[in-house]
Structure 1
Amino acid sequence: MRRESALAAGAVGVVVLAVVAAVLVPGALADPSEDRPVRPGPVTIADMEISAGDVTGDTVTLNVGTRLSHRGPPARNVSLRVQAVDTESGLVESTRTVSVGNLSEEREVAVPTNLTVEREGGYRIRAVVYRDGERIDSGARELRGLEALQPAYARSDVRFASADALPPVSFAVAEAGEDRTTLDMQVALTNEGDEQPSDLRVTVTLRQADSNIVANRTAVDVGSIRPGRTATVETRLTVPAGYNYYVDAVLWKDGVVIDSTRGAANLDPSETISVNETRRDVELEVGDFTRGDGQGGDRPRPEATGMPTAGGGPGFGVGVAVVAVVAAALFARRWTK
């Protein structure tokens, strides 16, 4: 009974001391989380989308949409810096900094930015997230082949025909004289789009193959070509006889070169020329999004195969092998004696 009384008295004493401490020391029993600073929630780059905006003859505006993901407690004073770095020189071509503000809800936020760069080569688009001036996350994406983007004034779906059975430029001899030859030229064009342009023209130039001197040229207006159809443009040119010529055909739209092609006209029976065409398709490529600094590891080195190399590397050559055979023969002869 005395033990229970002692425990009860002790409990009462603890309660009394707590009440006295609360009265004498305000805030002694307050929730410690109220005074302790709350750690801000993380903000990361979830994705980056890039599209082409205004395209001119020299520059292109890149529309960069960066998606930021916020989780946890509020994050204050968030900002985003986006840069375009030339992949060849490593120089920063354009920089934009956007203030995002405070992020309180757990969600993704799209932050649009615009970067204007030259319309050539490739760029590394790099994004860095800051919170109160402190860098907390980064990501990057690469672009290549920006020269494939055409300005609005140079866009046309009409091109020179590329079928094997239908060359873009062909000719026939209309009149053959001792000094002059008249050629009937035909240029094949294909409309690969859905519209029917009417402001096109073709220039045909004949250049003497050895001297590159222009022998004759003409310009022909292109009629209306329906979508998906192929049409031929005809013209007649007279040039000196007995020479070989390169035929250069250029497609124009309102003073802008849209497409070009080259053919050959062999009028010299003793020598012929051919057109060496090397076509390279250049397309706009967008690399995958990478987190952090985007730096990859070292490439694995190929393992040694033990096979001899074709260079002057270490090892026995042919001369050493011959000396070894002769020495072995002499040794065997001496041994037999």
Structure 2
Amino acid sequence: MRRETYLGVGVGILCLLSVIALLVVPGAVASQESDVSSRLSVETVTVAPGAVAGNAATLEFGVAITHRGGASENASLSVRAMDNESGLLAEKSTTVLGQITGDREHHARANLTVEREGGYDLVVVLYEDGRRVDSERGSVRGVEGLSPTSVEFKRFETGIPTIDYTIQKTDDNRTTLSVRTHLWNSGVNDAEGATLELAARQSESNVVAGRASVDVGQVASGESVTPTARLTVPSGYGYHLDAVLSHDGVIVSSASSVADLDPERKIEADTTFESVPFEAADFTQAEDVTDPDDTRPTTAASGPGLGPLTALLAVSSLAVAMRIYRGKP
């Protein structure tokens, strides 16, 4: 009888010690939570055109990263652009993300500046402590179609010319033309800084007989403007009226029309237009997400004192011992 009493007292003491360990020892539970492995993955990637200057264009990346588990240390994001024709690396950048915590979606941004021509294959790689954990692939086409300004020529489907003119005066075998162009802002923000250059080119010799430059000024989103300039040219000839739109020295677009000042001869415009659209393909998960030698860390629990699992095992062991003891004759 005394032995059963001693065993019952021992079980009670062990249970009491387990409760004290959970309440008093600070690292008993916290250590288990801190040792939970982190899980990072790339959820979505978006790419949009950014600033355009000269022969360079900036691609703006938005990356949604999903985090689960413990804190992720030393996370970083690598963005690479390869020429889609040669396959050579054109540009790359790395963004340091640091520590990522919380079971939620985190958003990161990265910029990549490439030459404003052709297309590129894009790779976004997510790293943790220098180890690749996830990646996405996508592509962009028509980078040469990116423009430093949203101001462009207004093209009419009804045959109305983009460039028209009126004769202001004729004097001493010289004719003054008032040349007007139709421009509009196709973007969602106000635009300014564009310059329009107008020229009258003699149709047979291609000699420029007159030239003028006009500052377009600020154009509100969706607004149309009609900058006008005067050109004085020799009378009795046919002319091509050329208009070149530029921004910070970068030619954005061009248009051409005719001014027939020769009543005995008819000329036609010799310029065609072709727009190059910018396209960004959807990103898909890359197959080579991790290196063969990479292994994900497993959840581990350690810490001072008696954890909940240790206490439970102790109580179970004593219960088994009591049953065995009672079973003896």
TM-score past 0.5 threshold: yes
Equivalent in the alignment of 2:206: 214
Q: Structure 2 CA distance, aligned partners of 1:117 and 1:256?
A: 16
Pair 1:238 & 2:230 matched: no
In structure 1, what is the Cα distance between the partners aligned to 2:280 and 2:144?
13
Aligned CA RMSD, in angstroms, stands at 4.7
Conserved 8 A contact 2:236-2:263? no
Please point out which of 267, 274, 279 is paired with 1:280.
274
Query: Would the alpha carbon gap of residues 86 and 170 (structure 1) be closer, same or farther in structure 2, given more than 3 Å must change?
Result: same
Q: Deviations over 1:124-169 (max 9, x none)?
A: 2211122333322111232222222223xxx373636646343235
Distance change in 2, residues 1:232/1:139 (3 Å): same
> Corresponding residue for 1:203?
199
Q: 1:318 corresponds to which residue?
A: none
Q: What does residue 292 of structure 1 align with?
A: 286
Q: Give a deviation string over 1:213-256, Cα, whole Å, max 9, x none.
A: 33451024559899535466554432676xxx561412356866
- The residue type equivalent to 2:244 in the other structure is L
Following the alignment from structure 1 to structure 2, what is the Cα–Cα distance between the partners of residues 79 and 170?
56
Tell me: CA distance 1:128–1:187, structure 2 relative to 1, closer, same or farther (3 Å).
Answer: same
Aligned-partner residue type, residue 203 of structure 2: R
Q: Which has the higher contact order (CA 8 A, sep 6+)?
A: 2
* Rounded Cα–Cα distance in structure 2 between residues aligned with 1:112 and 1:198: 29
> In 2, distance between residues paired with 1:224 and 1:104?
50
How do 1:263-278 residues align onto structure 2 when only pairs under 5 Å count? Answer: 263-264=257-258, 274-275=268-269, 277-278=271-272
Distance of aligned partners of 1:201 and 1:261 in 2 relative to their CA distance in 1, 3 Å threshold: closer
* Structure 2 unmatched ranges of 5 or more: 18-27, 289-329
1:59 equivalent in structure 2: 56
In 2: Cα distance, 1:197 partner to 1:76 partner: 45
Residues 169, 185 of structure 1: 8 Å contact kept: no
**TM-score scaled by structure 1?**
0.59
CA deviation string 1:174-199 (max 9, x = no partner): 99xxxx98767564412423679896
When normalised by structure 2's length, the TM-score is: 0.60
Residue 251 (structure 1) aligns with: 244
Measure, in 1, the Cα distance between the counterparts of 2:235 and 2:287.
63
Change beyond 3 A, Cα 1:217–1:168: farther
For the Cα contact (< 8 Å) 1:161–1:188, is it kept in 2? no
1:113 to 104, 110, 113: 110
Partner Cα separation in structure 2 for residue 102 and residue 86 of structure 1: 33
- Structure 1 vs Structure 2: percent identity of aligned residues? 26
The corresponding residue for 1:166 is 160
Cα distance in 2 for residues equivalent to 1:289 and 1:75:
24
Match of 1:73 among 70, 73, 76: 70
Distance 1:160 1:237, change over 3 A: farther
Given that residues 216 and 238 in structure 1 are in contact (C-alpha distance below 8 angstroms), is that contact kept between their aligned partners in structure 2?
A: no
- 1:214 aligned counterpart, secondary structure: coil
Residue identity matched to 1:228: S
Are residues 1:93 and 2:86 paired?
A: no
Shift of 1:83: 1.1
SS of match in other structure, 2:276: coil
**Whole-Å separation in 2 of the counterparts to 1:90 and 1:223:** 41
One-letter identity of the residue aligned with 1:249: D
Matched residues, number:
263
Q: Work out the CA distance in 2 between the residues paired with 1:53 and 1:156.
A: 12
Question: What's 1:102 paired with?
Answer: 99
Cα distance in 1 between the residues matched to 2:97 and 2:165: 64
3-state DSSP class of the match of 1:147?
Answer: helix
The AA in structure 1 aligned to 2:273 is: R
Distance 1:67 1:160 in 2: 38
My pick for the range that moved more, 127-136 or 215-224, is 215-224
In structure 1, what is the Cα distance between the partners aligned to 2:126 and 2:208? 62
Q: Which amino acid aligns with 2:74?
A: N
